[in-house]
Amino acid sequence: MGLYKQIDATLAQERVSWLSGNKHALRQRKKGKKALEPAIRNWVAKQSWKWPKRPIIFITDLHADADAFWASLVASGGIEKKEGSDDFSLTPFGKSATFVFGGDFFDKGPSNLALLRALKLLFKKRARVRLLAGNHDIRVLFGMTSVDMTDDPRNGHFFIRMGAKAVPFLREIKDEYLSHDGAMNQTPDKQTCLDAMLPSDSWWEQFPDLAKWSMPNNVVEREVRKIHYKSKRFAQVCEKEGLTVREAYAAARCWQSLFMEKGGEFYWFFQRLRLVMRKGSLLFTHAGIDDRTAAMLEQHGTGYINKEFRRQILGNPFEFYYGPLSSMIRTKYRSVDMPLTPIGSKSARRAGILAIVHGHRNLHRGQRIAMRKNLLHFECDITLDCNSRRKEGLKSKGFGATLIEPQGTITGISSDHSKIKVFSPQEEK
């Protein structure tokens, strides 16, 4: 079956109440489905929900897969596109909706650049588009911009912190932009290039003392060990990918011109990134919240958080990456993450937030609702990119979207679930 016929078949499937779904539809730690379903129904029915004024199409964790991008847009009902054609058009639904992408545009998939070019076409159709930052996006930003700044005691390690995950992106840039005759003529020798990418001697001396003001000693020690390990392996990893150290450095500098200089092909991307978006009772972000960010939401709102995010990522990467805002792109609600407790949940609800719509935790059976500390979470990372799907044993092509509509419904569409899930609070009352 062709991909777009598979999409048609998925959209023809039965629609069911999300709260009546199986274990792949609902989750709460230490609570089985039999007890969880009535508990969530009761909680949902008691809340005063507010909904966006226009539909929202939420797609997240595309991870460098343009095919998954197009297929998910078709499945959402937001565009019309024929398989194999480069042309597409917004549907009436797509013209009325806001397309929200939940971050992690980079890494894992076939082509970072192809995905960004596809995304730019959606802007050119004058669609309403919002881009939220993911941990992979920020890690790439901090890493690539730290090249030639490796003596910075706070930020000089961010390039090598990317480790092996950065090398395919560097290879992609090298292949596309640095394969012509003379492309490497201005690139210095191997050792100079290494010095420009690996933390300097002064970084190793100063970083541990500076970092102790922001994180516990054991975390600092683990971070330093990680950087040491990745530094030792970097040249070997490049060689395995068919990339010399000089080519890696030249590709990183090319990345800077493409993404950070006005006039660069992808300059628009980081200019449009935001950390969080609020519509009605719903908060959209990449990963989630903790007590600290919940307090910020209650006290200052999303406008303040997005301004701080812009200030920090463009001016002080260390402050962001090891500070409270980073939990919104990094948390998986594990014991090692900064906690969301009932205190934070109450802060969020006092701010009018009843549900977090996010990605980051990849799933194999479509979207899922999780209840955490009396706060609903719509987990929407449905493993879209083809390389992750192959690695994790998912045989079909990945596509899907989460639709939020003004009349008060949230719909989960996924190539990996046999039914379309519909969340409708008014039906629980």
User: Residue 82: its pLDDT value, please?
Assistant: 80
Mean per-residue pLDDT over the chain, rounded: 93
Is the predicted pLDDT of residue 1 greater than 60, yes or no? no
Q: What are the tokens at 153? A: 């005691």
90 with 159, same domain: the answer is: no
**Does some domain include residue 270?**
no
What is residue 192's predicted lDDT score, i.e. its pLDDT?
97
pLDDT tens-place string over residues 100-159: 999 999 999 999 999 999 999 999 999 999 999 999 999 999 999 999 999 999 999 999
- Pick the range with the lowest mean pLDDT from 12-16, 362-366, 367-371: 12-16
Query: Which residue, of 232, 260, 288, is where some domain finishes?
Result: 260
d(CA 301, CA 112): 32
Same domain? For 211 and 281 the reply is no
Query: Is 375:281 a contact under the CB 8 Å cutoff?
Result: no
Tell which wins on pLDDT, 388 or 14. 388
Q: What is the pLDDT of residue 11?
A: 77
Cβ atoms of 6 and 413 within 8 Å: the answer is no
Are 114 and 159 part of one and the same domain? Answer: no
Same-domain check for residues 100 and 11:
yes
**Residue 429 or 133, more confident:** 133
Q: Which residue has the higher pLDDT, 413 or 25?
A: 413
Q: With 70 as the cut, is the pLDDT of residue 31 above it?
A: no
Domain residues for the domain of 228 are 139-260
Between CA 252 and CA 247 the distance in angstroms is 9
Please give the structure tokens belonging to residue 317: 């990467």
Please tell me whether residues 111 and 153 are part of one structural domain. Answer: no
233 inside domain: yes
In a domain? residue 371: yes
Q: Which amino acid is at 12?
A: A
Domain with residue 333: its CATH number is 3.60.21
CB atoms within 10 A of CB 189: 10
Confidence class for position 202, pLDDT limits 50, 70, 90: very high
Residue 95: its pLDDT value, please? 98
Res 117: pLDDT? 98
Residue 48 confidence class, pLDDT cut points 50, 70, 90: very high
What would the mean pLDDT of 42-68 be, rounded to a whole number?
A: 96
Cα separation, 313 vs 77, whole angstroms: 34
- Together in a domain, 103 and 19: yes
Largest CA distance in the chain: 70
Structure tokens at 30: 């230490």
The helix, strand and coil proportions of the chain, stated in percent and rounded to the nearest 5, come to 50, 15, 35
From start to end of 249-374, where are the E strands? 273-274, 276-279, 282-285, 355-358, 368-372
Examine the fold and report which residue of 260, 293, 327 is the final residue of a domain before the chain moves on: 260
| 3-class state of residue 401 by DSSP | strand
CA 412 from chain centre, in angstroms, equals 18
| One domain, residues 128 and 143 | no
pTM for the whole structure: 0.95
Q: Quickly state the pLDDT bin for 30 (edges 50, 70, 90).
A: low
267 found inside a domain: no
- How many structural domains compose the chain? 2
pLDDT tens digits, 164-201: 999 999 999 999 999 999 999 999 999 999 999 999 99
What pLDDT is recorded for position 184? 93
Token pair listed for 130: 């919002």
**Confidence at residue 27, expressed as pLDDT on a 0 to 100 scale:** 78
Mean pLDDT score, 380-402: 96
- Within a domain: residue 96? yes
Same domain flag for 178 and 87: no
The proportion of the chain whose per-residue pLDDT surpasses 70, expressed as a percent, equals 96
In a domain, 266, yes or no: no
CB 375 within 8 Å of CB 348 = yes
374 and 392 fall within a common domain: yes
- Residue 397 per-residue DSSP state: P
Final residue of a structural domain among 260, 284, 318? 260
Q: How far apart are CA 75 and CA 382, in angstroms?
A: 14
Least-confidence region, from 186-200, 205-219, 345-359? 205-219
Mean pLDDT lowest among 335-344, 347-356, 378-387 = 335-344
**pLDDT (0 to 100) of residue 286:** 99
Categorize the per-residue pLDDT at 2 as very low, low, confident or very high, splitting at 50, 70 and 90: low
Which secondary-structure segment (H or E) carries 298?
A: helix 291-299
In terms of domains, do 184 and 279 share one?
A: no
pLDDT attached to residue 84: 76
pLDDT at 32: 65
- Cβ proximity of 427 and 17 under 8 Å: yes
Same domain membership, residue 83 and residue 57:
yes
- In this structure, are residues 371 and 44 in contact, taking their beta carbons and an 8 Å threshold? no
Q: What gap in Å lies between CA 220 and CA 208, rounded to an integer? A: 6
pLDDT for 7? 80
Residue 362 resides in a domain: yes
Asked if residue 149 and residue 246 are part of one domain, the reply reads yes
What average pLDDT score do residues 199-227 get?
Answer: 92
pLDDT of 429 strictly over 70: no
Domain-located, residue 15: yes
